[in-house]
Amino acid sequence: HSARFLARQQQSESNARAYPRRLPIALAEGSGSFVTDVDGNVFIDFLTGAGVLSLGHNHPELVRAVTKQLGRLTHGLDFPTPAKDAFTEAQLSMLPPGMRDRMKVHFCGPTGANAVEAALKLCKTATGRGDIVSFQGGFHGSSHAAMALTGLVSQKQPVANGMPGVHFFPYSYCSRCPVGLSPDTCATNCVTLLENALNDANGGIPLPAAVVLEMVQGEGGIVPARPDFVRRVRELTRALDIPLVVDEVQTGCGRTGTWFAFEQYGIEPDVIIASKALSGIGTPVALILYDRRLDTWAPGAHSGTFRGNQLAFAAGVEAIRVIHRDDVLGNVAARGAQIADRLAVLTRLPWVREVRGRGLMWGIELADPGTGRPAGSLAAAVQAHALRQGLIVELGGRDDGVVRMLPPLNVTAEVVDTACTILLAAVEESCR
Ligand code: PMP
C-alpha cells in the first residue's frame, strides 16, 4: 500500500524524495505522539512535521479551535480580526516581561524562510547597511536570501548560492571546536574571529546590518550554543550597534523548555524569528518580533498574500492556553532529562561522538572514531532500524551524521521510554 503511494508520488512530483527517500512510508493519520501509515502500521513520531506539531497530531482542543474558526473567517490578509488580535496578544504575552512593551509583531507569509527574509529587510532598512553575519553550520531556509545565510554548504551547493555581503563565522560547536580548544581552555575564542573582523576597519568586514544566530542549531545537528558564546556575541553586537537576530523557527514555542531559547542565555535579542510550532497543529504562520527602534520601514515594505491565516491564529491562541494549563514546559524539562538519562549510556560506544540537546530537541552525533568524520551512512542505518521498530527520527548535521529527535512537547514518559529503548537498540546494533 505505502509502496503504491510512494511510487505514484515519485512519478508525478518533481522532487518527491526528500523525507520519503529515507522514511519510505505514506502517512494516513495521526494522533498525539503517533502516526499511522496507509498499511495500518503505527509509529512513534519524533519528527512531528519537522517540529511543527508541538502538541502532537490532532490535539483535540486545537482541532476544536480550528473547526470553530473554519465557519467564521479563514483568511484575512493583514486586516485586523478578532482571531489575529487574540493571537498577537498571546504571542506578546509569552515574551519576557521586560521585552513586551518594546517589541512589535510583523506577520510574514507563511514559512520560516519568509520571516528570515523579513528580518533581513527590516535590519537593512533600519541600519542602511547591506552586509549580514551568519554562522557556520546554521540553517535558515530555502528561499534565496535565507539559503545564502545557511552555513550548511551541502544545502545550497547545487545552485551555486551566495549573496554578496554574507559573512560566515564559527559557531560554538565545542565537540568540533573551530579553534581547536577544549572546554576548559576556551574563553569562547571562536567569537574572537568575529570580533576581530568587525573591529578591523582596514582588513575586516563592513559593519553589518544584522548578526543572525540560532540558539541551538537544529538542521545543523542539534548543536546548542555555549552560553558565554551567546553573551559575547550579544555584547559585541550591542557595542557596535548591530541588530542581533535570533532565528527561533525551530527552537521557539517551548521546544527547548522556555518559550524562546534565548531566555535561557540571559540575553535580549533585537529581532526574533518564529514559525513552525506557532499554531501547534501545522496551520502555517510565521512572524518576526522586533524592537520598535528598528521600525523605520514603510507600510507594505514586506507584504505577502498569506499573512492572515485565521485558522493558524485560532489554533495558536488555544495552543498557548493548553501549554499554560497543562504545564507543557515543565513536561519538556522532565522528558528532556529523561532522554538525557536514557541515552547517556551511548557515549561509551566508539562511534557515538556526542549526545546533546536542550529541552525536547536531541541529537546523537555519530562519527568515525579514527578520523572524526561524520558517519552519515551509520546514522542512516540507525534511522532505518528505528523505523522498522516503529520510531520515526530525522537526520541532520554535517554529512547527515546526527540522528535527531523532535518529540511532541506533551509526549508522555511512557512513550519516551519506548522510543529510547528502540533508539538504544538501533544505535547499538548499527554500531556493531
Ligand atoms: N530557520 C530554522 C532555524 C529552521 O530550522 C527552518 C526550517 N527547518 C527554517 C528557518 C525555515 O523554515 P521553513 O522551512 O518554514 O521555511
Say if 408 falls within a structural domain: no
Say if 307 falls within a structural domain: yes
pLDDT in tens, 202-222: 889 999 999 999 999 999 999
Task: Please report how many Cα atoms fall inside a 13 Å half-sphere around the Cα of residue 232, on the Cβ side.
Answer: 18
- The answer to whether residues 384 and 393 touch, using CB atoms and an 8 Å cutoff, is no
pLDDT in tens, 308-339: 999 999 999 999 999 999 999 999 999 999 99
- For the CA of 250, the closest atom of ligand 1 is 5
pLDDT at residue 87 is higher than 80: yes
Strand partners, 366: 352
Q: What is the 3-state secondary structure (H, E, C) of 149-209?
A: HCCCHHHCHHHCCCCCCEEEECCCCHHHCCCCCCCCCCCCHHHHHHHHHHHCCCCCCCCCC
Residue nearest to atom 12 of ligand 1 (CA): 112
Task: Report the phi/psi class of residue 269: left, alpha or beta, with left for phi > 0 and alpha for psi in -120 to 50.
Answer: beta
Q: Ligand 1 centroid to 300 CA: how many Å?
A: 23
Say if 289 falls within a structural domain: yes
What is the ipTM metric for this complex?
Answer: 0.99
Helix or strand run (H / E) with residue 68: helix 60-70
Pocket test for ligand 1, best of 53, 108, 140 (most atoms within 8 A of CB): 140
Q: Ligand 1 centroid to 249 CA: how many Å?
A: 6
pLDDT in tens, 113-128: 999 999 999 999 999 9
Residue nearest to atom 11 of ligand 1 (CA): 141
In angstroms, how far apart are the furthest CA atoms of the chain? 64
pLDDT of residue 317: 98
Say if 341 falls within a structural domain: no
Q: How far apart are CA 378 and CA 270, in angstroms?
A: 40
Residue nearest to atom 13 of ligand 1 (CA): 112
The pLDDT-based confidence of 190 (bands split at 50, 70, 90) is confident
pLDDT of residue 15: 67
0.80 exceeded by pTM: yes
- For the CA of 247, the closest atom of ligand 1 is 3
The pLDDT-based confidence of 183 (bands split at 50, 70, 90) is confident
Say if 310 falls within a structural domain: yes
What's the CATH number where 203 sits? Answer: 3.40.640.10
pLDDT at residue 16 is higher than 70: no
Q: Ligand 1 centroid to 199 CA: how many Å?
A: 31
**Contact residues of ligand 1, CB 6 A cut-off:** 50, 111-113, 116, 139-141, 214, 218-219, 247, 249-250, 275
Q: Ligand 1 centroid to 190 CA: how many Å?
A: 25
Say if 389 falls within a structural domain: no
pLDDT at residue 7 is higher than 90: no
pLDDT at residue 153 is higher than 60: yes
Strand partners, 428: none
- The answer to whether residues 15 and 3 touch, using CB atoms and an 8 Å cutoff, is no
Q: Ligand 1 centroid to 184 CA: how many Å?
A: 33
- For the CA of 219, the closest atom of ligand 1 is 5
Please provide the average confidence, as pLDDT, over all residues in the chain. 95
How many domains is the chain partitioned into structurally? 1
Alpha-carbon distance values, 375 to 8, 386, 401 (Å): 32, 17, 5
Say if 213 falls within a structural domain: yes
Decide: helix, strand or coil at residue 113: helix
Pocket test for ligand 1, best of 135, 276, 309, 406 (most atoms within 8 A of CB): 276
Q: Ligand 1 centroid to 52 CA: how many Å?
A: 10
| Structural domain range at position 133 | 64-325
DSSP assignment letter at 11? H
Residue nearest to atom 5 of ligand 1 (CA): 250
Q: Ligand 1 centroid to 429 CA: how many Å?
A: 32
Say if 124 falls within a structural domain: yes
